[in-house]
A and B are shown apart, each in its own frame.
Chain A
Amino acid sequence: MDRLTAFFSGQLSPRGRLLMVAATLAILPSIVLPTWTISLRAPQYPDGLELRIYPNTVAGDVREVNLLNHYIGMHEIEPDEFPEFRFIPFFILRFFGFALITALAARMPLAVLGWMDFVLFGVVMLYTMQHWLFEYGHNLSPDAPLNIEPFTPSLIGPTSVGQFSVSSWPASGAVLMGVAGLIGPIIALYEWRRMRGGTAAT
């Protein structure tokens, strides 16, 4: 028990701090990189269509996807209508700042707090995306030219809608954030083993 207390209130080793710096470097570019990609394929779109979700907007073939969606009465994708886009970049910036301070201060409690915060954010964001996908797939106008069964596009992996096969995957930004998130347990494991090794030595 003492050991756990010691671990959680301890200092980060130089290597741990270096890993922390690596985490900051992974987090920072994800502000400008696409987080998620939804690609659509159909016979008459040989090059396919793509939606790229960034921390602050949706880009890519939004116009064409909206145009197609209107046939099934799907609500138009309008980046300004997502409140999330207004604060996600600041959250990422905050995580970056927190990780940086942690690296400088080299305090384990900060690292643990920051990591939990980060993971919670990730989970909430995934939930939010899932929520929007459900909303869009279910909030279909009854006046639409084509009536289809409400559906929920997959958050990860393929879904089939009409002649389209829709495929949704994390993009570079999410991958980097995932890497940053994984660095947490790696630091913990490293520091834990270092502490145990140290105790054994004394």
Chain B
Amino acid sequence: MVARRQVGLLVLAAALAVAGAVALESCAGRGGTADVGAIARERGLTDADIVAAVKTYQPTGRLDEYLMFSSGGHGGQVLVIGIPSMRLLKVIAAFTPEPWQGYATGADEHREMMRRARVAGHDITWGDTHHPALSETDADYDGQFLFIGDKANPRIAVIDLRDFETKQLVANPNMGTDHGAAFVTPNTEYVIESSQYAVPLWNEYADVDRYQQEYRGLVTFWKFDRQRGRVDEAASFSIELPPYWQDLADAGKGPSAGWAFINSFNGEMATGGIESRKPAFEAGASQNDMDYLHILNWQKAAQVAATPGRARMQRGQRVIPLRTAVDEGLLFLAPEPKSPHGADVTPDGRRIVVGGKLDPHVTVYAFEKIKQATEQRAFTGNDAFGVPILDFNAVIDGQLEVGLGPLHTQFDGEGNAFTSVFLDTKVVKWSVEPLQVLDEIGVHYNVGHIAVAEGDTKSPDGKYLVSLNKWAIDRFSPVGPLHPQNFQLIDLTGEKMQLLYDMPIGVGEPHYAQIIKADKLNPQLVYPVGTSPGTMAQARDAVAGGQERIERRGNEVHVYMTAIRSHFNPEHIRVRQGERVVIHITNIEQAREATHGFAIAKYNINLSLEPGESQTASFVADQAGVFPFYCTEFCSALHLEMAGYLLVEPRG
């Protein structure tokens, strides 16, 4: 045991020494004492390994150049990861209760937020986060907000990057599931959410036999009120779409600003039924060589939605019917091969790249040609719902074969594109003009999305690419049948792409990520004393030091409490069984990181009170007895002493 630990320590020391010594050597002239070569030989490291270590190793206290916001998949969270170190900095709770952040584990404001985001009469305690979208100004990340979609319970979460906390959950009443969420328009006028599996739109129920008649896709443009930092549901609108399974979305920028692009699969409108010997979805939805890229004029649609009588109110949402969308020229279709995944607008906004998934090509559409075709009404026909179809050959710039299963494309600032290729499990670098493959690198394994530093903005940085691999298989120590996923950091600075680092993701199955320059973020380090994070303003029931008290109002006991190193005040809360206890607690600290937790034993309550934060937690003291409460965040040397008693007297 001891021997094994020592070996472990040796290996660790060696790893650090390699990185450190190489760094020292590069500091011209200053010789290190460790023999890097010997350590590398002992550990079996190649020169490339040493370079990779030196490119990613961050000595203590050195901050990362970029932050990556990644979906946490059906963990329902958002991961924040530093680049190039690939260190996990934070998990932001979005749709799933998360006790460390005190998120939906007792605070009234979260209960209210979750209540408003109930869907179909259910309390939902998880989410399937897919695509994070950083807020943009002039098609560039501005570091203010982050949005993310919940595929399972079509919802959008709004995260405020002043404190990296979720502020709003918006449920979509007219979708079955979403997938193309979230994506933002160039100035975050709207947050785009598009549906995945079509469901009946205008009626509550229709059998799947009536798929073509009743089932519909939908795209919602959620109006974002930047001043309030909230989605304005009343100012938002949706557009009814054909019942193809819409997939990913992207907003145009520059010359294509005002437009949005959504790809789709299941143009066949297959309805499954394997149990009745009908083709399974996987086969039925993969018959045609072409599906439809949806081309939407959202700027015009916003005007149409605002015109009285043009949109229909459906479940409290303004929906532009498909017929109206066609008549008004809001929606066009362009054929796209084949069951694709990813419609990505180039940094200059002049082209849209679609990865073919079941076709080995990326197809590059020219927005100029699309626009011309729509203006000249040069259509090859209409689909079954009357939506005009553009001539594939007339609107594309070209196609490039990149391998089997091209999915998602991101860009650098030098006219290059990077496409994830799922089946070949590689990332391909290619130039947009002329269309040619430049390089490729194998990844481990089954890459889904990729993220390049600021790679979907108008001015990508290039430099780093993260390959979000679905499988890790043999890359990490086995930890049971459920494997972590593998984020691989790839260096883009050289002629050839170089793999730098593998990061296991053991908390979810991420889909999409965005990488922002760290200096664009300027989060608060403490809250002003008495702040309610829900409003980012002074909490109504904030308690100042010296104002602590317990007030009885009928059947309610209001406790006005403070937390400061290392005590709560009051420390005794006496109530009678059956009374409603309302605890207003303020952390009156202003020191960075002086966070206190507040947990009540056996009452399923845990709050996280960051310095200055004020929260209210209410519950009925239904169980008599003595319940310790204590600070759950190790705050100080006398942290264990930071405790008190909730005394619930039995009913007489």
Interface residue ranges, A against B (CB under 8 Å): 63-64, 67, 71, 145
A173 to chain B, nearest CB (A): 25
Contact flags B406-440 to A (C-beta < 8 A → 1, else 0): 00000000000000000000000000000000000
A51 to chain B, nearest CB (A): 14
A46 to chain B, nearest CB (A): 8
Question: For the complex, is B214 an interface residue (Cβ under 8 Å from A)?
Answer: no
A71, B642: Cα distance in complex, Å:
13
**B638 and A64 contact, CB distance less than 8 A:** no
The 3 closest A-B pairs by CB, nearest first: A64-B591, A145-B638, A63-B590
Given B565, B637, B641, which contacts A67 in the complex, CB threshold below 8 Å?
B565
Contact flags B540-568 to A (C-beta < 8 A → 1, else 0): 00000000000000000000000011100
Question: For the complex, is B613 an interface residue (Cβ under 8 Å from A)?
Answer: no
Size class of the B contact interface (CB-based, 8 Å): under 10
| A residues near B641, Cβ cutoff 8 Å | 145
A63, B591: Cα distance in complex, Å:
9
Chain A interface, >50% SS class = helix
Q: Which residue of the partner chain B has the closest CB to A64?
A: B591
A25 to chain B, nearest CB (A): 37
Question: For the complex, is B247 an interface residue (Cβ under 8 Å from A)?
Answer: no
Q: Which residue of the partner chain B has the closest CB to A68?
A: B565
Query: Max chain B CB contacts within 10 Å: which of A67, A71, A145?
Result: A67
Q: Which residue of the partner chain B has the closest CB to A61?
A: B591
| B residues near A64, Cβ cutoff 8 Å | 590-591
A144 to chain B, nearest CB (A): 11
| Between-chain CB contacts (< 8 Å), 5 pairs | A63-B590, A67-B564, A67-B591, A71-B566, A71-B638
Q: Which of B614-649 contact A (CB under 8 A)?
A: 637-638, 641
Question: For the complex, is B589 an interface residue (Cβ under 8 Å from A)?
Answer: yes
Query: Max chain A CB contacts within 10 Å: which of B564, B566, B591, B637?
Result: B591
**A67 and B638 contact, CB distance less than 8 A:** no
| B residues near A71, Cβ cutoff 8 Å | 566, 637-638
B640 to chain A, nearest CB (A): 12
A145, B638: Cα distance in complex, Å:
8
Q: Which residue of the partner chain B has the closest CB to A63?
A: B590
A67, B591: Cα distance in complex, Å:
10
Q: Which residue of the partner chain A has the closest CB to B588?
A: A63
A67, B611: Cα distance in complex, Å:
13
Q: Which residue of the partner chain A has the closest CB to B638?
A: A145
A184, B569: Cα distance in complex, Å:
55
Contact flags B581-600 to A (C-beta < 8 A → 1, else 0): 00000000111000000000
Interface residue ranges, B against A (CB under 8 Å): 564-566, 589-591, 637-638, 641
A183, B591: Cα distance in complex, Å:
43
Q: Which residue of the partner chain B has the closest CB to A49?
A: B591
A67, B566: Cα distance in complex, Å:
9
Q: Which residue of the partner chain B has the closest CB to A145?
A: B638
Q: Which residue of the partner chain A has the closest CB to B637?
A: A71
A67, B545: Cα distance in complex, Å:
12
Q: Which residue of the partner chain A has the closest CB to B593?
A: A44
B562 to chain A, nearest CB (A): 12
| B residues near A145, Cβ cutoff 8 Å | 566, 638, 641
| A residues near B637, Cβ cutoff 8 Å | 71
Q: Which residue of the partner chain B has the closest CB to A44?
A: B593
A71, B564: Cα distance in complex, Å:
12
A67, B637: Cα distance in complex, Å:
13
B376 to chain A, nearest CB (A): 64
| A residues near B564, Cβ cutoff 8 Å | 67
Given contacts A64-B591, A71-B638, 11 further A-B contacts (CB under 8 A): A63-B590, A64-B590, A67-B564, A67-B565, A67-B589, A67-B591, A71-B566, A71-B637, A145-B566, A145-B638, A145-B641
A130, B564: Cα distance in complex, Å:
30
A29, B589: Cα distance in complex, Å:
33
A145, B637: Cα distance in complex, Å:
10
A71, B639: Cα distance in complex, Å:
12
Q: Which residue of the partner chain A has the closest CB to B61?
A: A46
A71, B638: Cα distance in complex, Å:
9
| B residues near A63, Cβ cutoff 8 Å | 590
A198, B527: Cα distance in complex, Å:
69
B404 to chain A, nearest CB (A): 51
Q: Which residue of the partner chain B has the closest CB to A45?
A: B591
B633 to chain A, nearest CB (A): 15
Q: Which residue of the partner chain B has the closest CB to A46?
A: B61
| A residues near B638, Cβ cutoff 8 Å | 71, 145
| B residues near A67, Cβ cutoff 8 Å | 564-565, 589, 591
A167, B590: Cα distance in complex, Å:
23
A64, B593: Cα distance in complex, Å:
12
A201, B316: Cα distance in complex, Å:
104
A63, B564: Cα distance in complex, Å:
11
B149 to chain A, nearest CB (A): 39
A71 to chain B, nearest CB (A): 7
Q: Which residue of the partner chain A has the closest CB to B636?
A: A71
A63, B637: Cα distance in complex, Å:
18
A71, B567: Cα distance in complex, Å:
11
A64, B641: Cα distance in complex, Å:
19
A71, B589: Cα distance in complex, Å:
15
A113 to chain B, nearest CB (A): 47
A67, B590: Cα distance in complex, Å:
10
Q: Which residue of the partner chain A has the closest CB to B591?
A: A64
A102, B564: Cα distance in complex, Å:
53
A87 to chain B, nearest CB (A): 28
B571 to chain A, nearest CB (A): 14
A63, B565: Cα distance in complex, Å:
12
B342 to chain A, nearest CB (A): 44
Q: Which residue of the partner chain A has the closest CB to B590?
A: A63
Q: Which residue of the partner chain B has the closest CB to A47?
A: B592
| A residues near B591, Cβ cutoff 8 Å | 64, 67
A71, B641: Cα distance in complex, Å:
12
B597 to chain A, nearest CB (A): 18
Q: Which residue of the partner chain A has the closest CB to B529?
A: A63
Q: Which residue of the partner chain B has the closest CB to A163?
A: B637
A51, B637: Cα distance in complex, Å:
23
Q: Which residue of the partner chain A has the closest CB to B565?
A: A67
B414 to chain A, nearest CB (A): 39
B408 to chain A, nearest CB (A): 40
A71, B565: Cα distance in complex, Å:
9
